[in-house]
Amino acid sequence: MNRRIDQLRSALDAQQLDGMFIVQPENRRYISGFTGTSGYVVITADKAFFITDFRYVDQAREQCVGYEIVNQGNALLPTLADLLKRQHVKRLGFEQDFVTYGDVQRYKTLEEVVPGLSLVPTSGVLELLRIIKDDSEVASIQRAADIADAAFTHILGYLRPGLSEKEVALELETFMRKQGASGPSFETIVASGWRSSLPHGVASDKVLESGDFVKMDYGAFYEGYCSDITRTVVLGKPSDKQREVYNVVLEAQRLALEAAKAGMTGQELDAVARSYIAGKGYGEAFGHSLGHGIGLQIHEGPRVSSSGSDLLKPQMVITIEPGIYLSQWGGVRIEDDVLLLEGGEKRIFTHSPKQELISVG
């Protein structure tokens, strides 16, 4: 974690901050290694503090390497005031996007009791560090992707008419846990038949029927990191129209996977898939972004969308997930996770079969 703390200090220097107060759970985990659910991080120019209560003190001692662990008892503000005074912190950054109005009012009282202190709102400081993945993060995402791939192989042998979408989701999630996932990385989407036209149709009580598309978008959490995959299959024999729509999405995804490289913008990559789909007459039916970053959170930077000016860089991890959704008829999405590398290279994390529309059941 010490390299991450050094990087954070450089980022703070650039904003003339001599301290940072971190509350957002994934940011807190990233900078401290703490996996629990309650605690506060204060980083100063030469020290790192982890403030928590008695429930988490032992866990913090074990996980937060290089940190001084502070037991707040039942008084966060006096503990903070004391610490900031002792460290002579003057400009303390806080995460404006993750504190409530009430929190800010309370934290502001610190300015009255700590000489010379001002609280400075910041945005995206930790997130800009998190967007570049190191080798250990890449390894965790690969494991999360391997688990999702194994779950796809498993579910192909399970799908059959008569099951509800919820049963399919439960089977995917149970299988991933047995493979070592700590849970699903987001609420599992199983959308069949007409519901497959809902881009985010989480599993419902709808029963799978012969002829249905079954669109499954799911992922695993492993060591805190997410995978995110979508595959669409058909129950029984596909219609010509199902094949046609599937093949348009497949080719759009292939083109985008091929084009993806560090040095382009998210917008440019999005346009590769979007223009292909539009050229096939389905432009209106692809109403969401091509992809997004993944990491400790299922949606993080960079943006890979028609308005995403973010520059794609080596060691970023993104999804590529074009789709076509035709109301009341059905929809197809195909999604894989990609690591961008130096020199235009890339590595794809997910390898579940997709080369032709798979018919099951």
**Nearest partner of 33 among 22, 44, 17, judged by Cα:** 22
How far, in Å, CA of 251 to CA of 143, rounded?
27
Minimum separation from the CB atom of position 331 to Zn ion (A)? 13
Measured from the CB atom, is 217 or 270 closer to Zn ion? 217
**Cα 260 to chain centroid, rounded:** 19
Stretch that binds Zn ion, among 32-40, 147-155, 265-273, 317-325 (CB under 5 A): 317-325
Interface positions, 328-347, toward Zn ion (CB under 5 A): 335
Stretch that binds Zn ion, among 138-146, 160-168, 230-238, 251-259 (CB under 5 A): 230-238
Stretch that binds Zn ion, among 52-60, 72-80, 228-236, 248-256 (CB under 5 A): 228-236
Instruction: Give the SS3 label for residue 94.
Output: strand
**Nearest partner of 356 among 247, 217, 276, judged by Cα:** 247
Number of residues engaging Zn ion in binding (CB under 5 A)? 5
Instruction: Give the SS3 label for residue 265.
Output: strand
Minimum separation from the CB atom of position 228 to Zn ion (A)? 4
Residue selected from 18, 95, 171, 217 as contacting Zn ion according to rule CB under 5 A: 217
Q: For the beta carbon of residue 247, count every other beta carbon within 10 angstroms.
A: 14
Minimum separation from the CB atom of position 47 to Zn ion (A)? 38
Measured from the CB atom, is 64 or 131 closer to Zn ion? 131
**Nearest partner of 257 among 304, 215, 213, judged by Cα:** 304
Measured from the CB atom, is 79 or 230 closer to Zn ion? 230
DSSP character for 38?
Answer: -
Measured from the CB atom, is 7 or 182 closer to Zn ion? 182
Residue 319 within binding range of Zn ion, rule CB under 5 A: yes
Stretch that binds Zn ion, among 23-31, 46-54, 105-113, 215-223 (CB under 5 A): 215-223
Measured from the CB atom, is 44 or 230 closer to Zn ion? 230
Distances (CA, A) of 279 to 249, 251, 325, 332, 351: 12, 12, 16, 17, 27
Strand partners, 230: 217, 335
Residue 188 within binding range of Zn ion, rule CB under 5 A: no
Q: Which residues contact 281 (CB under 8 A, 6 or more apart)?
A: none
Measured from the CB atom, is 196 or 319 closer to Zn ion? 319
Instruction: Give the SS3 label for residue 41.
Output: strand
**Nearest partner of 359 among 243, 246, 237, 245, judged by Cα:** 237
Minimum separation from the CB atom of position 79 to Zn ion (A)? 40
**Nearest partner of 246 among 291, 279, 272, 282, judged by Cα:** 282
Residue selected from 228, 300, 336, 337 as contacting Zn ion according to rule CB under 5 A: 228
Measured from the CB atom, is 149 or 217 closer to Zn ion? 217
Residue numbers of the site for Zn ion (CB under 5 A)? Answer: 217, 228, 230, 319, 335
